[in-house]
Structure 1
């Protein structure tokens, strides 16, 4: 990538999808009543030319995948007339899943039986509206309304992070011991080292090193793990206008002296992202 501003989750999912070169040009998927056609922006001689043009026009409208609810990118399946899109990787999701953070098998649902299809993901603690993996009711009486969205269901089991010398392993939460990056006490997936009692919320662990934003068109915001040497006495978030505690990770541009707390800049990035 040209810079580090691309979401680590997006990059992780894209790398997985590139790992399999098998390409079925037409797919009957349980989530849609029409056959879905495979599209490849780089061109594919097996694809219908009219369908390719239709899909590429739709891409200009920033279409999203119906499964992971992230911006569509090639390769993907679609039926353009129905405005339905699936990343190739999402189209090949398993119907059942065993996850190390849940004791029982999870099943894939196109639309959870919740109001308007919204469900609270137990991995990230955000409301989601794409495909979901849900616990089997008769097996999980103690896990009421347990859901995982697509990205949380397929997080890596372990990562290497520059701030810690040991591998960090996926775990259910980091409430015990707290997150090393932020003061939030939330029950979300985390990556941790039991040897050192070091933990990071998974959203903190996957923060990009740099990110471009409309508040600073000329320089990227850089993720700061510790206070800046010889820097100002205080840092104010450009979004929430609250003082930033330099004991926690935050974003800063030294050239423009602009700062942002990680929570705010990532929320803004999801809404008005300027990622190339």
Structure 2
């Protein structure tokens, strides 16, 4: 993260990300980064990956994401949750995104979580 979080106790492994996420605190207004789940300003209690600068609100990190979904924009195949941290173009909203995504192995397309 641009402004590294002050470390708090705890870390988690999350199925939507390949690295361990460390618990920390970020003061409001000290970074322009957004939560990789809800796309809102990142501040307060957060979980962050120091390896690839992935970050999410504490509450967003604790949400259970389904490992497979069917989405109306791509109803011919199931989409599987992938914990990749690279950039990609979301085939659903056509925005550049990064972090975890739902992926169709058959069509090789990605959809963001938002």
Q: TM-score, normalised by structure 1?
A: 0.30
C-alpha spacing 1:195/1:188, structure 2 compared with 1 (3 Å): same
The match for 1:160 among 63, 70, 75 is: 70
Higher RCO (C-alpha 8 Å, min separation 6): 2
* 1:103 and 2:18 correspond: yes
Q: Which position in structure 2 is the counterpart of 1:238?
A: none
- Mapping of 1:171-182 within 5 angstroms? 171=82, 172=84, 175=88, 178-182=89-93
Q: Which runs of 5+ in 1 are unaligned?
A: 1-94, 204-276
- Alignment-derived partner of residue 105 in structure 2: 194
Q: Where do 4+ consecutive residues of structure 1 move more than 4 Å?
A: none
Where 1:166 maps in the other structure, the secondary structure is: strand
- Within 1, Cα distance between the matches of 2:113 and 2:101? 4
Cα deviation for residue 180 of structure 1 reads: 2.2
Verify: 1:143 aligned to 2:55, yes or no: no
Cα pair distance change 1:189/1:126, threshold 3 Å? farther
Count of residue pairs the alignment pairs up: 98
Which structure: greater strand fraction?
2
Equivalent position of 2:3 in the other structure: none
2:40 to 126, 134, 138: 126
Deviation track 1:12-45 (CA, whole Å, cap 9, x = no partner) reads: xxxxxxxxxxxxxxxxxxxxxxxxxxxxxxxxxx
Name the SS of the counterpart of 2:66 in structure 1: coil
| TM-score calculated relative to the size of structure 2 | 0.60
Q: 8 Å contact 1:98–1:105 — kept in the other structure?
A: yes
Unaligned runs of 5+ in 2: 1-9
Q: Distance in 1 between matches of 2:52 and 2:99?
A: 15
User: Residues 26-37 of structure 1: matches in 2 within 5 Å?
Assistant: none
Name the one with the larger helix percent.
1
- 1:193 Cα deviation (Å)? 0.7
